[in-house]
Amino acid sequence: SLIVPPDHPRYYSLLYRERIVEKAKEGVVVLQGLIAHGRGEAFDYMMGERTTPAALKAEKAAVALLKLAKHPVISVNGNLAALVPREIVMLSKALNAPLEVNLFYRSEERAKRIADLLKAHGAEEVLWKPDAEIEGLSSERRKVTRRGIASADVVLVALEDGDRTEALKRVGKKVIAIDLNPFSRTARMADITIVDNVIRAIPNMIKFAEEMSEEECKRTLEDFDNSLNLRESAKYLKEWVQRMIEEL
Ligand code: PTJ
């Protein structure tokens, strides 16, 4: 595959583009996932391709919620597995939260391929054979496992569609969403919304998961207001665009 020159100003963006294209060829990512990635890139670009202070706060609150949960689960789709396979395995271990493959464009073959990819990166167990359904959801994402998402109290999702977030909330689960679009239905519906690229959000979350005490988790959640934080995230977007306009 193409060698991305390390001195290129948008090195990381190009590197992850290569990675996701490769994973699409291997059948881990669907072609629609490449479109979704491009949309994410556009939002990331307009936020300066960095973790904003608001995003970092949301990442910390998310880890607090996951650590205090009785049964937290990390939901994995094709894009997430392709971009940060090693990191989601590390986060799963740090949080003691199982990984469950949950796909919008589901095929048994791809679900297994994603599970195998995660195992190759150190996962001991990956839930990928559904034996339950989320009520009131018609997409393939309704298919879940009893030991995983069906019995979870907190679910971490990334690059998600609004429908499942809504359905998960309706059946009483808390949802943490990582989504670069602060205006998406998922972003607005989630209990905690992380407006950041998963390539930065997940490593930040691993660090918090390793560092935070129970006391700090409680304090962090008490101080966190998601709608306020979401608005703050959206303001960074506005300010960055404003700054760029002034430079024109
Ligand atoms: O693997 P599957 O079958 O489950 O399919 C996954 C995709 C991504 C194709 C599916 O979930 C989908 O179509 O997603 P959407 O509706 O396009 O939503 C993706 C959202 O994630 C958009 O709001 C993007 O801006 C955002 N996004 C894209 N890339 C990233 C991202 N958010 C965080 N980090 C990214 N790298």
Domains of the chain (ranges; CATH) run 53-237 (3.40.50.12640)
Q: Whose CA is nearest to atom 1 of ligand 1?
A: 78
Asked whether residue 1 carries a pLDDT value surpassing 60, the answer given is: no
Beta strands 132-133 and 154-158: pairing type?
Answer: unpaired
Q: What rounded mean pLDDT belongs to the chain?
A: 96
- Probe target for ligand 1 pocket from 106, 159, 184, with the most ligand atoms within 8 Å of CB: 159
In the predicted model, what is the mean pLDDT of residues 24-39?
97
- Compute the distance from residue 197 Cα to the ligand 1 centre, in Å: 11
**CB contact at 8 A, 176 and 60:** no
Instruction: Single out the residue of 61, 52, 58 nearest to residue 212, CA to CA.
Output: 61
* pLDDT at residue 5, rounded to an integer: 77
Q: Whose CA is nearest to atom 13 of ligand 1?
A: 36
- Probe target for ligand 1 pocket from 79, 103, 199, with the most ligand atoms within 8 Å of CB: 79
Instruction: Single out the residue of 156, 195, 200 nearest to residue 179, CA to CA.
Output: 195
Q: Whose CA is nearest to atom 7 of ligand 1?
A: 33
- Compute the distance from residue 36 Cα to the ligand 1 centre, in Å: 5
Which token pair is 156? 């971490």
This model of the complex carries an ipTM of: 0.98
Asked whether residue 125 carries a pLDDT value surpassing 80, the answer given is: yes
- Compute the distance from residue 159 Cα to the ligand 1 centre, in Å: 3
The angle formed by the CA atoms of residues 92, 98 and 102, to the nearest 5 degrees, is 105
pLDDT, tens only, 47-60: 999 999 999 999 99
- Compute the distance from residue 113 Cα to the ligand 1 centre, in Å: 19
Q: Which residues line ligand 1 (CB under 6 A)?
A: 30, 32-33, 36-37, 39-40, 43, 77-79, 83, 103-105, 159-161, 178-181, 184, 197-198
pLDDT, tens only, 179-216: 999 999 999 999 999 999 999 999 999 999 999 999 99
**CB contact at 8 A, 194 and 178:** yes
- In the block, tokens 């919008």 appear at 104
* pLDDT at residue 10, rounded to an integer: 81
SS3 133: strand
Task: For residue 39, give the ligand 1 atom closest to its CA.
Answer: 25
pLDDT band with cut points at 50, 70 and 90 for residue 17: very high
Task: For residue 196, give the ligand 1 atom closest to its CA.
Answer: 33
pLDDT, tens only, 83-102: 999 999 999 999 999 999 99
Asked whether residue 161 carries a pLDDT value surpassing 90, the answer given is: no
